[in-house]
Amino acid sequence: MLNPNLKLNMKMFDEKIEQMPIRQGFGEGLLIAGEKDLRVVGLCADLTESTKMNLFSEKFPNRFIQMGVAEQNLASVASGLAAMGKIPFISSYAMFSPGRNWEQIRTTICYNDRPVKIAGSHAGISVGPDGGTHQAIEDIAITRVLPRMIVISPCDVLEAKKATIASVDTGTPVYIRLAREKTPVMTTATTPFEIGKAQIYWQSDKPQAGIVATGALLHKALIVAKELEGKGIQVEVMNLSTIKPLDEKTLTAFAKRTGKIITVEEHQIRGGMGSAVAECLAKNFPVPIEFIGVDDQFGQSGTPEELIEHYGMGIKSIIKAVNKILKR
Amino acid sequence: MEFIDERIIELKEKANDIRISLIESLIAAGSGHTAGSLDMADIFTVLFFHTLRHNSKKPDWPERDRLVLSNGHICPVLYSAMAHAGYFPVEELKTLRKFGSRLQGHPHRDFLPMLETSSGPLGSGLSQAVGMALADKIDHGLTSDRRVYTLLSDGELECGQTWEAAMLAGKEKLHNLTAVIDRNNIQIDGYTENVMPLESLSDKWRAWNWHVIEIDGHNIEEIADAFEAAKAVFGKPTIIIAHTIAGKGVPEFERDYRWHGNPPGLGPTDKVPADKQGAVALAELRTLGGEIKSEHQ
């Protein structure tokens, strides 16, 4: 059953569940952060509306800097602003920031210990028709490897909004992973959120396996849990929105309770959230793990649903992985 | 600015002290970058002992000017200038590049928090300086009187990011930003105009709406005057193209790109044998004492 303490959307399994783009939550969160804190500044590389930073730039033109298509400069100028006490948010597509400007993020932001917040929009394969060049499916790997960096992959628009507001005061660099398409709104305004805290969204009395999901695919994991319950198979589902620092305590307890883990993410299997989970559990409580994600390939054009299915991240693939792990 | 000869000689002697200390630190380290460190000694001297608004006893003074060293590999001259300006003991320079030292091979704020930035990978310093200048512009508009200085190598102008930053600074009309190019014409693989031609350099900066000043990077008065002139420029950032002689101060090392990344003892041996390089460099610099004259004399 859905965890009643988290005040999740009661229409979770309704076909008409409200759908909103996760990036919208970033835009709304940044606007609130900007109203609350004069130190907040916004920088964008020619994608102000796409990344929803336009909500901030229209309200606070004096605190917004249009960088043009120059992502390396985007990262390092933000570092300089942070050196003077500003709290810069930089936005572009994830493929270009933190993709193209990774070394600038490493050296001028992380190594230099500057609290710049990086919003990477259009992450994941569900970017769709734009094709493989624009589908960032390596961004979790390249950000979670950086010392000092916090990595957050919100599951929906409301969690993205809360994560954006919470990131202002971490004192560290933060990467917030955003998606383009409208996806189900699973949480509500009153669902608790804390950076670094994993949450069990679907609970069972006697779980036979546990699914750890991040981003919008969490919704598919929840549908799987409900469906399997009807067939007498009990699984639990965790929302792992903060990938770094990893909530090792909750994750290890989850592995102890469920005994078998399936990780679900819209990202390369190698180096992503699943790898972070495996690193933790191999050390603390080794259990069998199945990894759902993109298996060492690049994407292509298609509708988001077509691509999710084709690359093995849909509901059928998750059910298959659960069945497989139950036999292990 | 009226410059009396005594003041010029005083600064030149300081520059010589900074050169001696940086050579001593490179000898102790056994690795590091000699040519650019030597040739920027005069500019660092003018900055730390004349131009910069700073306080070595209160390095985190909020009103201070900012200095961003982009080409972090010439940190021996930065460290030497900081030590002579009182930020830390001159004796500490001999820990350069050693395990646990505050003086990392390329500057790192984790180890020496009084640094404005950590640097090393080329091409990103101008961007950071632009960010600092923008912060003041956001807070104070055109009335900001704090200055942000950044020092760039000529070789790093080959990095595309430099030009991304140049474009933005011109667009934002950052009057409070002064950048200096160490135009010593060398980089690791050879002479810049062979590796990747940079000329016409001044035209490139003018095209991005910068005010350009060209100076002799070893003429104390010209250096100081250029920094002053930049303060009076309205609505544009200023670039000072400082023509320097790589390895300046040790004639045996001058104008030779092979001294870019080697310390005395590991440099080219056709003029001075390896085991004599340290002694020759120190002898050249130490015998200058008392011989230093102002440009007027």
Please tell me the predicted confidence (pLDDT) of residue B291: 76
Active site residue A181: no
Residue to substitute from B68, B110, B122, B127, interface A, most A β-carbons within 10 A: B127
CA distance linking residue A178 with residue A49, whole number of Å? 14
**Helix/strand/coil for A184:** strand
Pair (A57, A176) in one structural domain: yes
Indicate the DSSP class of residue A114. Answer: -
Per the DSSP assignment, residues forming a β-bridge with A91 are A44, A119
Closest CB to A77 among B108, B109, B131: B131
User: Which among A162, A184, A206 is the end of a domain?
Assistant: A184
Q: Number of residue pairs across A and B with CB atoms under 8 Å?
A: 100
Q: A206 is in which domain, residue-wise?
A: 193-326
Pair (A24, A170) in one structural domain: yes
Phi, psi (rounded to 5 degrees) for A239? -95, 110
pLDDT tens figures, A238-250: 999 999 999 999 9
**Helix/strand/coil for A40:** strand
CA distance linking residue A155 with residue A151, whole number of Å? 13
Q: Which residues of B touch A77 (CB under 8 A)?
A: 127-128, 130-131, 134, 165, 168
CA distance linking residue A213 with residue A218, whole number of Å? 5
Q: Is residue A7 part of a domain?
A: no
What is the residue-level pLDDT of chain B in tens, covering all 297 positions? Answer: 457 889 999 999 999 999 999 999 999 999 999 999 999 999 999 999 999 999 999 999 999 999 999 999 999 999 999 999 999 999 999 999 999 999 999 999 999 999 999 999 999 999 999 999 999 999 998 888 899 999 999 999 999 999 999 999 999 999 999 999 999 999 999 999 999 999 999 999 999 999 999 999 999 999 999 999 999 999 999 999 999 999 999 999 999 999 999 999 999 999 999 999 999 999 999 998 667 877 776
Query: Which of these, A298, A279, A297, lies nearest to A289 by C-alpha position?
Result: A279
Q: Is residue A257 part of a domain?
A: yes
Please tell me the predicted confidence (pLDDT) of residue B294: 74
Pair (A172, A212) in one structural domain: no
| CB contact set of A5 (below 8 Å; sequence gap of 6+) | none
A113 touches chain B (CB under 8 A): yes
Cβ within 8 Å, pair B138-A77: no
Pair (A136, A224) in one structural domain: no
Per the DSSP assignment, residues forming a β-bridge with A151 are A175, A244
Sketch the domain layout of chain B as residue ranges.
Answer: 5-286
Contact (Cβ atoms closer than 8 angstroms) between residue B124 and residue A106: no
Q: Tell me which chain A residue has its CA closest to the CA of residue B118.
A: A112
Pair (A159, A262) in one structural domain: no
CA distance linking residue B41 with residue B47, whole number of Å? 10
At A248, which CATH number? 3.40.50.920
Please tell me the predicted confidence (pLDDT) of residue A238: 98
Q: Which residues of B touch A65 (CB under 8 A)?
A: 134, 168, 172
Pair (A142, A72) in one structural domain: yes
Pair (A167, A313) in one structural domain: no
| CB contact set of B259 (below 8 Å; sequence gap of 6+) | B34, B35, B186, B246, B247, B253, B267, B268
Please tell me the predicted confidence (pLDDT) of residue B290: 66
B195 touches chain A (CB under 8 A): no
Class of domain B5-286: alpha beta
**Cα dihedral sign, A104-A107-A108-A113:** positive
Pair (A85, A157) in one structural domain: yes
Pair (A42, A159) in one structural domain: yes
User: Which among A126, A152, A184 is the end of a domain?
Assistant: A184
Pair (A39, A105) in one structural domain: yes
Please tell me the predicted confidence (pLDDT) of residue B142: 80
DSSP string, B255-269: T-GGGSS--TTSS-T
Tell me whether residue A82 is exposed, middle or buried, using C-beta atoms within 10 angstroms of its C-beta: 0 to 12, 13 to 18, 19 or more.
buried
Pair (A129, A203) in one structural domain: no
Pair (A180, A261) in one structural domain: no
Please tell me the predicted confidence (pLDDT) of residue A89: 98
Closest CB to B131 among A72, A80, A103: A80
How far is A177 from chain B, CA to nearest CA, in Å?
Answer: 24
**pTM value?**
0.96
At A153, which CATH number? 3.40.50.970
CA distance linking residue B241 with residue B206, whole number of Å? 12
**Helix/strand/coil for B240:** strand
- The arithmetic mean of pLDDT across residues A63-74, rounded, is 98
B230 touches chain A (CB under 8 A): no
Provide the b/e sequence for B193-211 (b: ≥16 CB within 10 Å).
eeeeebeebeebbeebbbb
- The arithmetic mean of pLDDT across residues A10-15, rounded, is 97
Percent of chain A with pLDDT over 90: 100
How far is B171 from chain A, CA to nearest CA, in Å?
Answer: 10
Residue whose token pair is 């390092």: A76
Provide the b/e sequence for A194-208 (b: ≥16 CB within 10 Å).
ebbebbbbbbbeebb
Greatest Cα-to-Cα distance within chain A, rounded to the nearest angstrom: 60
Please tell me the predicted confidence (pLDDT) of residue B254: 96
CA distance linking residue B162 with residue B237, whole number of Å? 14
Contact (Cβ atoms closer than 8 angstroms) between residue A104 and residue A80: no
Contact (Cβ atoms closer than 8 angstroms) between residue B93 and residue B73: no
Q: Which two tokens stand for residue B72?
A: 């972090």
Q: Other C-beta atoms within 10 Å of B275: how many?
A: 10
Number of domains in chain A: 2
Contact (Cβ atoms closer than 8 angstroms) between residue A136 and residue A265: no
Residue whose token pair is 């014409």: B185
User: Which among A122, A151, A184 is the end of a domain?
Assistant: A184
